A and B are shown apart, each in its own frame.
Chain A
Amino acid sequence: MSAMVEVRSVHKSFGSLEVLRGIDLEVRTGEVTVILGPSGSGKSTLLRTINHLEKVDNGWISVDGTLVGYRRSGDKLYELREREVLKQRTQIGFVFQNFNLFPHLTVLENVTEAPVAALGRSKKDAFAAAEKLLDRVGLADKATAYPKQLSGGQQQRVAIARALALEPKLLLFDEPTSALDPELVGEVLDVIKDLALQGTTMIVVTHEIGFAREVADTVVFMDEGRIVEQGAPADVLDAPQHERTRAFLSKVL
């Protein structure tokens, strides 16, 4: 299968702190990649570089064969204008740890905002599509509610519907269940599992080892800005090759 995401020798620093120290990663179309690692290992930053929320200092990233954030002309890379970056992002859904729903808009308005504003869909089409999506995440009856009236798990499911409304080629999840009460984690993971079963290409940063084992095609373990090892869940989780992976897994399992 072809590569949906290609990450090549990506470096990123915040001031003097080097967060990503040469990342190479390939995600194939239709596959689920789970990134594990201790906090500060750079996994969230890596995810954010893939839709250009963070600019890379070195290296490059492509999604579905198109460079992210740059355009090649001859032997030069030109930085894209904000408008062009925004257009690229409509192909890449992003789900945040803290949901980041728009609190002053209803659930339905949250889901339809981007299709109308970024893709120029008619309100009627966007509303019809949004209702289907809300049904898919089990929140058809919450369309007119405001985010503050929902539980954390429900808010995150709305955020997933909002990301899906753009019909992206790729979905990125940044610790989607870390801000949730333990009893609400399951309902969000179920929605993500359902998407995985339907062949959505996804990269999920998470601490849910059980989810990784069950859903991931590839598990990537990161530490100190590098990928320490990657492979099938059975290999990485049950027979890790590196000491650091073993140390991390012994703490979280």
Chain B
Amino acid sequence: MTLISAGDPPVDKATPPPGRTPAADDYSTLKVVPVRHPWRWAAVVVTAVLLVQFAHGLFTNPGWEWDVFARFFTAETILKAVWVTLQLTFYGTALGFALGIVLAFMRLSASPFLKSVAFAYIWAFRSIPLIVQLLFWFNLAYLYKELQFGIPFGPGFFTFDTMGLVGAMSAAVLGLALHQAAYAAEIVRGGVLAVDSGQLEAAAALGIPRLRQLRRIVLPQAMRSILPNAANEIISLFKGTSIVSVMAIGELFYQVQVVYGRNGRVVPLLMVATVWYILLTTALSVVQYYVERHYAKGAAR
């Protein structure tokens, strides 16, 4: 079989069409010249100079007092304070998210009463500044001298002295957790809403029990959108614990203030706190990466 039928005029491949050179037809042999970006290079140079200047200052400016920094960075009082900060973060997160999950499902429930209560809680605790709230909890004993455990409006079984029960530390944890719960509730609710409704329908059609639907089908998928926001919240709570210093609790920022109040070395001690905050935030980010990877199973991106 031939592509050229007998009736077609013969084609002479050796003769190029008039007005064109053979080189112009074959671009593949030509050298490619990339676009130049002179202004980009100028910006790189300016930025690099500024960075080097800053780094140079870190080493040559005696005001940083790196020897003082080194002395206090791993001092016992500071390490203890770091531990208090971590405890505040842990309890604030754990209790905050536990209550937040309950609130989220209250808001997602079919009961108008439960919905409204959860809505009101979130509204209230997002409206009150954390520091105001913390001072309220700190002064709880002023409002309620004793706390009683018993039948509502009936006889009580156990009575606690408020001062003894709600010390500074528990007031701080309470405040952080209640504050965190309002934000956690919205994050969890957002995550659950992001799961395709067809997933619940399929689970219901297969007769999978309700709790198992949530635990096995909905929550693992909701975690995909919950995690980035939750990590944000945990990190911001971790740094936010510094606000507790107003209650004279020996967490990192308070302890640093105490030390520079005594020795006057403000900058190096602020750096001690700064570097600890950076290190631990980095650790949390690494944890976030691995947890997110776990919940990305089966996802395309």
A residues adjacent to B (C-beta < 8 A): 51, 53, 82-83, 86-90, 92, 94, 96, 98, 100-106, 113-114, 117-118, 146-148, 162-163, 166
Contacts and interface: CB of A to CB of B under 8 A. Distances in A.
Provide the main secondary structure of the chain B interface: helix
Interface stretch (B22-30, B137-145, B180-188, B195-203): B195-203
B220 interface: yes
Given A100-B199, A104-B221, A117-B212, A90 B299 contact: no
A199 B206 CA distance: 22
Given A83-B209, A86-B209, A118-B208, A96 B202 contact: yes
B298 interface: yes
A166 B297 contact: no
B207 interface: yes
Contacts, number: 75
Interface in B140-192: none
Interface string B200-225: 01111111111010001100110000
A105 B204 contact: no
A113 B204 CA distance: 12
B279 interface: no
Contacts of B295: 104
Interface of B: 196, 198-199, 201-210, 212, 216-217, 220-221, 295, 297-300
What are the nearest 10 A-B pairs in CB distance? A146-B298, A100-B202, A90-B207, A114-B206, A118-B207, A94-B205, A100-B198, A89-B207, A86-B207, A117-B208
Nearest to A102: B217
A103 B224 CA distance: 12
B121 to A, nearest CB: 27
24 contacts: A53-B201, A53-B204, A86-B209, A89-B206, A92-B205, A96-B198, A98-B198, A100-B196, A100-B202, A102-B217, A102-B221, A104-B295, A104-B298, A106-B298, A113-B216, A117-B209, A117-B216, A118-B207, A118-B208, A146-B297, A148-B298, A148-B300, A162-B206, A166-B206
B83 to A, nearest CB: 36
B199 to A, nearest CB: 6
Nearest to A172: B205
A89 B204 contact: yes
A104 to B, nearest CB: 5
Contacts of A51: 205
Given A103-B221, A104-B297, A113 B205 contact: no
A86 B208 contact: yes
B199 A102 contact: yes
B213 to A, nearest CB: 9
B298 A105 contact: yes
A148 B299 contact: yes
A147 B202 CA distance: 14
Contacts of A148: 298-300
B204 A86 contact: yes
Interface centre among A92, A104, A147, A162 (most CB of B within 10 A): A104
Contacts of B300: 148
Interface centre among B196, B202, B206, B295 (most CB of A within 10 A): B206
Contacts of B207: 86-90, 114, 118, 166
A105 B202 CA distance: 14
Given A118-B206, A163-B206, 6 more contacts: A82-B210, A87-B207, A104-B297, A105-B298, A114-B208, A166-B206
A110 to B, nearest CB: 9
Contacts of A100: 196, 198-199, 201-202
Given A113-B216, A166-B206, A104 B201 contact: no
A104 B206 contact: no
Nearest to A147: B298
Contacts of B297: 104, 146
A114 B216 CA distance: 11
B205 A89 contact: yes
A113 B206 contact: yes
A53 B201 CA distance: 8
A83 B212 CA distance: 12
Nearest to A106: B298
Contacts of B298: 103-106, 146-148
A54 to B, nearest CB: 11
A98 B209 CA distance: 22
Contacts of A163: 206
B208 A113 contact: yes
A46 to B, nearest CB: 15
Contacts of B209: 83, 86, 117-118
A102 to B, nearest CB: 6
Contacts of B203: 102
Contacts of A104: 220-221, 295, 297-299
A230 to B, nearest CB: 25
A113 B207 CA distance: 10
A53 B206 CA distance: 11
Contact of B206 (A83, A90, A147): A90
